[in-house]
C-alpha cells in the first residue's frame, strides 16, 4: 500500500480544491490527443480530430475529459484504498476498452503540465513531486487488474 | 543512433545464424510478449486475436514481424526506406504506443538468447539491441 504523508495529502487537496474539473479535464485530454496523436486510436467515433483547433473545440473530447478527471477526483478521495476503488475501472480498461496502460502514464504527465500552466508559481516543486507520485499511483491502480 | 559497420556485420551475422528459424523466433517473441505474463498490456492491441496458447493467429503475426526484421537486416543501410510502408501503417492505422517496441525488442533478444546463447556475445547483444531500437525508431518516426 502506498504511504501518503500529511504534507502530501495537503498538497494534493489544496491543488485539487482549486481545480475546475470540467475545464482541466477537457484541456488535459485535448492535449493528450494533440501531443501524442497516436492516442487518437481510441476515439474513432469522436468526430473531427483533424487539427489542434478541432480537438480543443470537440464537444466529445470535452465531455470525455470531464468524465476522466471526475474519476480522478474519486481516486483523490480514496488515496488509501486506490486499487479497490479502481478495480472495476481497471477491468473495464483491459477487457472492454483495450487501452494500453502506457496511456495512463502519458495522461498523468499531461495533467501535471496543465496544472503547472494553470497554477504557475503556486505549483511548487514539492507540489509537482507529490502529484507525479499521485498520477503514477493512479496509473498503477488502473493497470492493476490487467491480465 | 547510428549503426557502425561492426554493428551491421554483427546483425547480419545473427540473422544468418538464425536463418530459417526467424519465423519461429518471431512467433515465440510474440507469445512471450503477448501471451505470457511478461507484458500483458501488449494484448490490448490484439482484441481481435485468439491469444490462447498455440494460437495460429499469433504464430502468423509473429512470422510477419520476423520477416520485417529479416528484411531490415538484409537492407541494413536503409532501414527507413525498407520499412517505409510499415512506418506509414504504424503511424496512421496501428498507432501502437512507442513504448511497446522496446518491449518487443526485449522479448526478441530473450528468444535469441535462449536459442543461441553462443551467438549473443556482449558485442553482438549491443549491436542487435541497437538494431531493434533503430527499427522501433523507424516505425514510430512518422507518429508526429
Contact across the interface for A143 and B96, Cβ inside 8 Å: no
Q: What is the C-alpha to C-alpha distance for residues A50 and A71, in angstroms, rounded to an integer?
A: 27
pLDDT, tens digit, 9 for 90 and up, residues A54-97: 999 999 999 999 999 999 999 999 999 999 999 999 999 999 99
Contact across the interface for B44 and A36, Cβ inside 8 Å: no
Listed as ranges, residues in chain B with pLDDT below 50 are: none
Q: Name the residue among A37, A101, A102 with its Cβ closest to that of B143.
A: A37
Contact map slice: A 36-95 vs B, CB within 8 A: 36-41, 94
Q: How confident is the model at residue A42 (pLDDT cuts 50, 70, 90)?
A: very high
Which whole number is the average pLDDT over A103-117? 92
pLDDT attached to residue B35: 64
ipTM: 0.73
Nearest residue on chain A to B90, alpha-carbon basis: A38
Residue B104: name the closest of B90, B119, B92 by CA.
B90
- Tell me how many helices (H) and strands (E) chain B has: 7, 0
Residues of A in contact with B98 (CB under 8 A): 38
Q: What pTM did the predictor assign?
A: 0.84
Q: What is the C-alpha to C-alpha distance for residues A139 and A142, in angstroms, rounded to an integer?
A: 5
Q: Decide if pLDDT at A119 tops 70.
A: yes
If phi > 0 it is left, if psi is from -120 to 50 it is alpha, else beta; for residue B2 that is beta
Can you tell me which residue has the cell 483491459? A94
Which domains can be identified in chain A, with CATH numbers? 6-143 (1.10.490.10)
Class of domain B5-140: mainly alpha
Mean pLDDT for all residues in chain A: 94
pLDDT attached to residue B36: 65
What are the distances in angstroms from CA B96 to CA A27, A145, B2, B73?
A: 23, 21, 24, 22
Q: Where are the domains of chain B?
A: 5-140
pLDDT, tens digit, 9 for 90 and up, residues A120-143: 888 888 898 899 999 999 999 999
Amino acid at each position: 500500500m502506498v504511504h501518503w504523508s500529511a504534507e502530501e495529502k495537503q498538497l494534493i487537496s489544496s491543488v485539487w480544491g482549486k481545480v475546475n474539473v470540467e475545464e482541466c479535464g477537457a484541456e488535459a485530454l485535448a492535449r493528450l490527443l494533440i501531443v501524442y496523436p497516436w492516442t487518437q486510436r481510441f476515439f474513432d467515433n469522436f468526430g473531427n480530430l483533424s487539427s489542434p483547433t478541432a480537438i480543443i473545440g470537440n464537444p466529445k473530447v470535452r465531455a470525455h475529459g470531464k468524465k476522466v478527471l471526475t474519476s480522478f477526483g474519486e481516486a483523490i478521495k480514496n488515496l488509501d484504498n486506490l486499487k479497490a476503488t479502481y478495480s472495476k475501472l481497471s477491468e473495464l480498461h483491459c477487457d472492454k476498452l483495450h487501452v494500453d496502460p502506457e496511456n495512463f502514464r502519458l495522461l498523468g504527465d499531461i495533467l501535471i503540465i496543465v496544472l503547472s500552466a494553470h497554477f504557475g508559481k503556486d505549483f511548487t516543486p514539492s507540489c509537482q513531486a507529490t502529484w507525479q507520485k499521485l498520477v503514477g499511483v493512479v496509473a498503477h491502480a488502473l493497470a492493476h487488474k490487467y491480465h | 543512433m547510428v549503426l557502425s559497420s561492426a554493428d551491421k556485420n554483427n546483425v547480419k551475422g545473427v540473422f544468418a545464424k538464425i536463418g530459417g528459424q526467424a519465423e519461429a523466433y518471431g512467433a515465440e517473441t510474440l507469445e512471450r510478449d503477448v501471451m505470457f505474463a511478461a507484458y500483458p498490456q501488449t494484448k490490448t492491441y490484439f482484441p481481435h486475436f485468439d491469444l490462447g496458447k498455440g494460437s495460429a493467429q499469433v504464430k502468423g503475426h509473429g512470422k510477419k514481424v520476423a520477416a520485417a526484421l529479416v528484411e531490415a537486416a538484409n537492407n541494413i543501410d536503409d532501414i527507413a526506406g525498407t520499412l517505409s510502408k510499415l512506418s506509414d501503417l504504424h503511424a496512421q492505422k496501428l498507432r501502437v504506443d512507442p513504448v511497446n517496441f522496446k518491449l518487443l525488442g526485449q522479448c526478441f533478444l530473450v528468444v535469441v538468447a535462449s536459442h543461441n546463447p553462443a551467438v549473443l556475445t556482449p558485442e553482438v547483444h549491443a549491436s542487435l539491441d541497437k538494431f531493434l531500437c533503430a527499427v522501433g525508431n523507424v516505425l514510430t518516426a512518422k507518429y508526429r
